[in-house]
Amino acid sequence: MIQRVQSLYFLLGAVALFLVYLFDIAVFKDMAELEYSLSTFSFHRGDEIFVVKGNVLLNLLVALGGGVMLANILLFKNRKLQRSIGRLIYILLLGVIGSMIYFIITNQNSPQVNELTVQYYSIGFYLPFFAFLMTFMANRGIRRDEQLVASLDRLR
């Protein structure tokens, strides 16, 4: 059934991944105490926009991960396939986290701006970790459903 709790977990995880596009990932500070914001599509300080490097892989993995999570909701009739795709989502989310760290490092060492340090990580940085947690909870729910069906089959 599509109204199972793991469908809600997958939906929350997909929404969290797609929200990465809306929120900043990190805020940098330079030697002159000026703040620079980094999001998936822009690297800016006020009205001044700099070239963003390394965002293609991050954007691709975020879109692919969110799309696979949404598609996995519709596979509720085949729990084994749903769990296998859940494991694939783990790999995609680790790729998102790794590419996000690479994205931060490459833009921190930008030749346009000197001596940037990370002041703090914004909410966009933590959203893939939340999606990872939601995928874990969904896979636990799927496993519990499999165990329940197996126990009911033994009673027949």
pLDDT at 53: 75
**Residue 156 maps to a domain:** no
Read off the pLDDT of residues 61-99 as tens digits, 9 standing for 90 and up.
999 999 999 999 988 888 889 889 999 999 999 999 999
Confidence of residue 3 (pLDDT cuts 50, 70, 90): low
CA distance 83 to 61: 20
pLDDT at 112: 66
CA distance 8 to 73: 8
**What's the pTM?**
0.86
**Residue 53 maps to a domain:** yes
CATH of the domain at 58: 1.20.140
**Residue 155 maps to a domain:** no
Read off the pLDDT of residues 59-70 as tens digits, 9 standing for 90 and up.
999 999 999 999
Read off the pLDDT of residues 6-44 as tens digits, 9 standing for 90 and up.
889 999 999 999 999 999 898 888 877 778 888 888 887
The number of folded domains in the chain is 1
Which residues is 27 bridged to in the sheet? Answer: 37, 120
**Residue 79 maps to a domain:** yes
Q: Residue 42 belongs to what domain range?
A: 5-150
b/e per residue 53-74 (b: at least 16 CB within 10 A):
eebeebbebbeebbebbbebbe
Pair of tokens at residue 149: 């069906």
